[in-house]
A and B are shown apart, each in its own frame.
Chain A
Amino acid sequence: MEYPTESIKNVVESFSKLPGIGKKTALRLTLYLIQRASHEVDSLANALLALHKNTFRCKNCNNLSDREICNICSDNSRDNGIICVVEEIGDLLAIEKTNTFKGRYHVLGGRISPLEGVGPNQLSINKLLERILNENVQEVILALSTTQEGDTTAFYLSKEILSVNPNILISHIAKGIPSGASLEYTDELTLSRSLIYRSQYSVISPSKT
């Protein structure tokens, strides 16, 4: 497609590289920006520049942060003895939103999948093992996706973790029926798994963190 000016073309092409945005949406966004006051566009541009300049990966847990060590790692009220391992930062944010976990995190940065070219070396595994050795960790919670690749990552991690500390407790988040779902429409695999890993029913709801 022909664009009226070279700068419009550049912006449209940059936008359309973003996930979920095609050429049409990109053009719509660009035309919208042209119609806005120039200070509004400036603030957007500055925010984008600052995003990359001022965002770091936490040296400890690989979380996003505006300092070297992220807010969660530097929060003294959190429990040091328990680490929750997640694949991506989005997973961390999702768990944080539940407000039920008060330990530390470790972000792997993906999961093992040779088909996509991701092996253990591409993930932040050595750092995790280092932390387990140095931080007096008693439990590692694996909060990985329930795909085959997630299972593989869990298998690999647990072997590695046990090789540096054989006495540590390794757990995996429960796999089962989502709340509010009806059994009738749950797939067979999930249903059979939640039957195998059923838990004792208690009248007072458990408040363990």
Chain B
Amino acid sequence: MFYYSHIELSFFRGFENLKLELPNDFILIYGNNGSGKTNFLEAINLLSLTKSFRPVTDKELTHWNQDFYFVHAEIKNHPLLTKISCNYLKNKGKKIFHNDNPIQKFSTHIGLLPCVSLTPDDSDIIKDSAKRRKWFNLLFSQGDKEYLNTLQKYENALQQRNILLKSEKPFKELEPWTYQLCLYGKILLHKRKLYFEKLFKIYSQIHEALGAWDVSKFLYAPNCDYENINQAITHYEKHLKTDYLYGFTTIGAHKDNVQFLIDDQPLKHFGSQGQQKTFIINLKLAEYEFLSNHQKAPILLLDDVFEKLDKQRIAVIAEFLHSHQKGQILVTHPQFLDFHFKHFRLQIQNHQIIL
């Protein structure tokens, strides 16, 4: 399985210049608050998915007072890539290089270096349905190129249709775009049903293996469910009046959702802090398994996951990770943690590695 064997960061976040060799192993990165542990994981997320896992601009990712950053890595055991770089220059934007050649479309990069990250911010997907949609779209896009292609076409058609609705153009002009929404929406619907079912199956197994004391589940709730395209078109026609009134398309796959439930009640209202945290951890582990089944094994980034968990729980999760490890796993923690299996340790201080 592929792994990052060498990482170079220049003027990225707090790192002025860092060069580091990494093994294909379970890697624990420890160090004080603000020493750069999360920033290091961000760099790996950037290389894998073209973005940080935090909602930040590229300018904010640069070292203070600098107008550029440079992130480079060497990859081993990958069928296509040996080198990957992501460079940003103010006013010029961000560029991604595959084996030193710039790529034209970022979307072609998604899925090449699959990655699952678990950060404290991830609990937001329990509360925010827009973030939830972003989350599952990114996950399925990593596992399935066609999903991403279809999603992009769907979103383009949606944008075009919304402009026509806003300017109150006649139905005749809307029709071709409505047709495309139905066409691509149907593919998305089908794929989401399939993938959520698979994901849930894996989730249930993990939930049980890690000692579940509650019944949590998630339900895919499509905004409109239909068997064939004609049925969908009639559905859109019925909502045309509302669409014109609001000036945008009010139904369709872009309004799909997934409900997180605990004992059949919404998790965001009825789940305790601990239950919510456990849910997210198990969900991310399910993602990891899901992508491994669909694609090459992803890189797993765990940022501050063991924080606030008791010793026993940490041991259970670590044991699970160890027995299910398929590729590189990077874990951050403020203090040194001792695992009873073989692992690699990195101490980080003031954005420097201590050897």
Binding site for B on A (CB under 8 A): 112-115, 119-120, 148-149, 151-153, 155-156, 159, 188-189
Contact = CB atoms under 8 A, between A and B. Distances in A.
B175 A119 contact: no
A30 to B, nearest CB: 28
Contacts of B145: 188
Interface of B: 145-146, 149, 153, 156-157, 159-161, 163-164, 167, 169, 172-173, 175-177, 179-180
A47 to B, nearest CB: 37
Contacts, number: 42
A159 B177 CA distance: 13
Contact of A155 (B164, B169, B175): B175
B177 A152 contact: yes
Would you call the interface of chain B mostly helix, strand, loop, or mixed?
A: helix
B105 to A, nearest CB: 11
A188 B146 contact: yes
Would you call the interface of chain A mostly helix, strand, loop, or mixed?
A: helix
Given A148-B153, A188-B146, A115 B160 contact: yes
Given A115-B160, A119-B169, A148-B157, A156 B180 contact: no
A148 B175 contact: no
Given A114-B163, A152-B180, A189-B149, 19 more contacts: A112-B173, A114-B161, A114-B164, A119-B169, A119-B173, A148-B157, A148-B180, A149-B160, A151-B180, A152-B157, A152-B160, A152-B176, A152-B177, A155-B175, A155-B179, A156-B172, A156-B176, A159-B172, A159-B175
Nearest to B154: A148
Nearest to B166: A114
Contacts of A115: 159-160, 163
B176 A112 contact: yes
Contacts of B164: 114, 119
Nearest to B108: A187
Nearest to B157: A148
A155 B164 CA distance: 16
Contact of B160 (A113, A155, A188): A113
A146 B348 CA distance: 52
Contacts of A114: 160-161, 163-164, 167, 169
22 contacts: A112-B173, A114-B160, A114-B163, A114-B164, A114-B167, A115-B159, A119-B164, A120-B172, A120-B173, A148-B153, A148-B180, A149-B160, A152-B157, A152-B180, A153-B176, A155-B176, A156-B172, A156-B175, A156-B176, A159-B175, A188-B145, A189-B149
A120 B173 CA distance: 8
Nearest to B169: A119
B214 to A, nearest CB: 42
A7 B230 CA distance: 63
A20 to B, nearest CB: 19
Contacts of A156: 172-173, 175-176
Max chain B CB contacts within 10 Å: which of A156, A188, A189?
A: A156
Contacts of B163: 114-115
Contacts of A120: 172-173
Contacts of A113: 160
